[in-house]
Structure 1
Amino acid sequence: MKLEGVRVLDLSLFLPGPHLTMMMADHGAEVIKVEPPGGEPVREVGLKQAGHSTWFRNTHRGKRCIALDLKSAAGKAAFARLVAWADVVVEAFRPGVAARLGIDYASCKAINPGIVYCAISAYGQTGPKALRPAHDLAMQADSGVVSLNRAPDGTPAAPHMPVADMAGSLMALAGILMALLRRERSGEGDFIDLSMQDALMAWLPNVLGPPFALGRDPVVHEERSWGGNALYKLYRCADDRWLALGGAEHKFAENLLNALGRPDLVPLCHLPPGPGQDPVKDFLAATFATRTLAAWTAFLQDVDVCWAPVKTLTEAFADPHTHARGMVWTDGQGGTHLGIPIRFANEPGRINPHLDVVGESTAAVLAELGLGDKAPLPSGEGLG
């Protein structure tokens, strides 16, 4: 597999760091997860299946889990051995915590000059907000993203996808892989300061026209991406199910409106998003409300237009296409896993469904490091 031989030390918790290190494990990296004495919090968050939470299963499969007291001399010694062994360290402490524990980049680089060290935090290691704690919702709010999720009455709605967490995960993965590639050529490691807010804001190029070009906020329901374009909008069907039109290219507008017997409306779809397209929106809203989603599904099968039914999560993960792509996988204990989205023709990733209990691999890993019976097991304090 692509990352076979890459050794990763994961000190992160919750979603961004554990998700990225799981992706590395799926593609062959050896990942050791260092947990606090009480274990990774998501072990106990949400519903469980086959003895483990869904969240934990889908962020920690294939990792070896150890528990160390990083405030003890023995724990620090064991950590130093791990750093000497590792290629990558991932942590997600608030800035300053790693330095107080003596496990920051400078300390790790002194042990292993080739180490690639990724510090994931809410606001980054520098700047006025660096020490402020935040999780996904606060990140989306402070980045302007929540302001884009508005009901027709203007009320902002809580986002339902952890996009700040996942943007942080994917940007961190990209940064780590770039640093490893550069190390192959130069022999030098690197430090990655990964801010979840930076990562999220970097995902917004398609919606920044009004702020960047005009110095104003978007008028949400008049913008192309949020319902201002008639062919990029949600519509209710007769059975209170919904469908999404998701392609605003002129050819799709022509194909749909011709099929619906209203070619006269096509010129309005050439106008900019906003009120000028309201007659098309009104026509489509009234038309889609006359039939059930199933009826429209049958009708639209023969029309070359971007559209999709608005499915529930259960429906989406039961879809035959989802299964054909391998995005749902069940292990021998009945646990359900998300599949591997990066599909290589050569050396494809492979799911290892094993899930360690808290500290399961501590003794074995420490023995491999030559510490034997001197295992610095937790004594009530941990990652702090």
Structure 2
Amino acid sequence: MKLTGLKVIDLSLFLPGPYLTLALCDHGAEVIKVEPPAGDPGRGIGERQGGHAVFFRNLNRGKQSLCLDLKLEADRERLLRLCDEADVFVESFRPGVAARLGFGQETLRGRNPRLVYCSISAFGQDGDYAARPAHDLGVEAMAGVLSMSLGPDGSPAIPAIPVADVLSGLHGLSGVLMALLRRESTGQGDYLDISMLDSTVGACLNILGPTLAEGRQPDPREERTTGGSAFYRVYRTGDGGHISMAGQEPKFVHCLLGALGRPELAELVLQGPGRHQQPVVDYLTGVFLTRTRDEWDAWLGGLDVCYGPVKTLPEALADPHLARRAMVLTDDAGLRHIGSPIHFADEPAEPDFTVPALGGYAGPDTHR
């Protein structure tokens, strides 16, 4: 669905809120990014290309930047006037800050009852941790996710992507769209309290069986998702690469072990995850060392098995499949961008690759 005509005011910084509003922007919404005089810190994160930090470009393309000092009464009044005509408002301050500055949800929704107001914070607007600062990794630790993400030495390992940031952005996006749908029938907006911790705990449903049923920590040696299954783990290949086996349904197990000439091992896998699968793990460990990653990829690709070669990021982005899916796009300057993962048949996303200049918004309410 095209979101043309939807006006979004985005006061969020870094990743969760901008990730939410990026999806709205890619699908036609007007997103006005309100930045402090120094700009979003994301403008200075990481490598630069085409005059901009790639981190900032990836999350804020197509938006418009309005520079406001919210400690100044005149700038706060400008923000209030913008919000009077807005459909969505997103902020990521610590709880209570927006209200103290004069643009809390009660104030803005009192002036504009149709407004959908979304707050994204580490721990939510209430509760014991509400005032505590946190970024993604701390939230993952408190959600229990790091305790289940173990490295080879059994210690917690840092995930490569910011799980709590992305999950809270996606939950915020879902909530905003649901509230907009509800507004169609009620005429009223709503307030969304999105917590990074809640979002991360809510994503653990598939690993919580032992905890909810027996009150215990899952044993990594027994659980499918943490190495307890021979068909759900990563194996080293002969050239130093890796292959991930990623599905233990019976048809996949029988297919692979049959093709390898060891069908009798399937019985151990089909008993479920656990240490009894160690003979299968040992066998596959040895077998995968006999060929290179790409040789295994070619051979496994001819079977009905669930697997994936472990690619580097450059290899992943060079895959023609992603190009065909419009997930890697090139602008007129030859710079590559990541496309929208939301694929509509009738009204696909139309990303605008323009990077907003700090304070460059030229809308109707920019006068002092």
TM-score of the aligned structures, taking structure 2 as reference length:
0.98
What does the per-residue CA deviation read over 1:257-296, in whole Å, with 9 as the maximum and x for residues that have no partner? 0000001111111112111111111111111111111221
Shift of 1:352: 0.6
In the alignment, the residues of structure 2 paired with residue 106 and residue 83 of structure 1 have an alpha-carbon distance, to the nearest angstrom, of: 12
Distance in 1 separating the partners of 2:226 and 2:235: 13
Does residue 212 (structure 1) correspond to residue 212 (structure 2)? The answer is yes
Larger relative contact order (CA 8 Å, sep ≥ 6): 1
Q: Report the equivalent of 2:14.
A: 14
Matched residue, 2:131: 131
Q: Give the match's secondary structure for 2:221.
A: helix
Q: Tell me, what secondary structure is at the counterpart of 1:118?
A: strand
Provide the C-alpha distance between the structure 2 equivalents of 1:253 and 1:159, rounded to a whole number of angstroms.
28
Letter in 1 for 2:132: R
Counterpart residue number, 1:379? none
Q: Contact (CA 8 Å) 2:232, 2:247: kept in 1 or not?
A: yes
Q: Distance in 1 between matches of 2:198 and 2:36?
A: 28
Q: Is the 8 A contact 2:12 2:93 kept in 1?
A: yes
Deviations 1:317-364 (A, max 9, x none): 001111111111121223321111111111111011111211011xx2
Q: How does 1:153-192 map to 2 (within 5 A)?
A: 153-192=153-192
Question: How far, CA to CA, are the matches of 1:45 and 1:58 in structure 2?
Answer: 12
Which residue matches 2:53?
53
1:226 Cα offset (Å)? 1.5
Matches within 5 A, 1:200-349: 200-349=200-349
What percent identity do the matched residue pairs reach? 51
Partner residue of 1:100? 100
Kept after mapping to 1: 8 A contact 2:255/2:303: yes
1:105 deviates by: 0.3
What residue number does 1:199 align with? 199
- 1:289-327 Cα offsets, whole Å, 9 max, x none, are 111112212221221101110000110000111111111
1:298/1:80 Cα in 2 relative to 1: closer, same or farther (>3 Å)?
closer
Query: Alpha-carbon deviations, 1:52-82, whole Å to 9, x = none?
Result: 1111111111111011122222112211110
Find the aligned partners of 2:221 and 2:85 in 1 and give their Cα distance: 53
1:155, distance to aligned residue in structure 2 (A): 1.4
SS in 1 for 2:188: coil
Q: In structure 2, what is the Cα distance between the partners aligned to 1:185 and 1:168?
A: 26
1:220 partner SS:
coil
In 2, the alpha carbon distance for the partners of 1:291 and 1:249 equals 25
Using the alignment, how far apart are the partners of 1:141 and 1:258 within structure 2? 41
Query: Would the aligned equivalents of 1:136 and 1:162 in 2 still touch at CA under 8 Å?
Result: yes
Q: Normalising by structure 1, report the TM-score.
A: 0.94
Q: Are 1:139 and 1:164, in contact at CA under 8 Å, matched by a contact in 2?
A: yes
Equivalent AA in structure 1 for residue 79 of structure 2: F
d(CA) in 1 for partners of 2:35, 2:221: 45
How many angstroms does 1:153 deviate by? 2.7
Which deviates the most, 248-257 or 323-332?
323-332
> Counterpart of 1:278 in structure 2: which amino acid?
Q
Q: How much has 1:208 moved relative to structure 2?
A: 0.5
AA at the equivalent of 1:356? P
CA RMSD after TM alignment? 1.1
Write out aligned runs for 1:25-44 (5 A): 25-44=25-44
Q: Which amino acid aligns with 2:178?
A: M
State whether residues 152 and 221 of structure 1, in contact with CA within 8 Å, keep that contact through their aligned partners in structure 2.
Answer: no
**Which shows bigger deviation, 251-260 or 266-275?**
266-275
Structure 1: gaps (5+ residues): 375-384
SS of 1:222's partner is coil
CA distance in 1, matches of 2:73, 2:263: 77
Letter in 2 for 1:18: P
Secondary structure at the counterpart of residue 233 of structure 2? strand
- Structure 1 residue 150, shift from structure 2 partner: 1.2
- Distance, in Å, in 2 between the alignment partners of 1:294 and 1:110 is 60
Distance in 2 (CA, whole Å) between partners of 1:301 and 1:86 is 50
Equivalent pair of 1:120/1:168 in contact (CA under 8 Å): yes
- Aligned to 1:243, what secondary structure does the other structure show? strand
What are the ranges of 5 or more consecutive residues in structure 2 without an aligned counterpart?
none
Is the CA contact (8 Å cut-off) linking 2:13 and 2:92 kept in structure 1? yes
TM superposition shift of 1:233:
1.0
Pairs aligned (count): 368
Aligned partners of 1:221 and 1:95: how far apart in 2?
40
- Partner residue of 1:80? 80
CA distance in 1, matches of 2:336, 2:202: 32
Matched, 1:110 2:110: yes
Deviation at 1:120, TM superposition (A): 0.3
| One-letter amino acid of the structure 1 residue matched with residue 310 of structure 2 | V
The amino acid of 2:96's aligned partner reads: G
Whether the 8 Å CA contact 2:221–2:275 is kept in 1: the answer is no
Structure-1 separation of matches of 2:145 and 2:236: 25
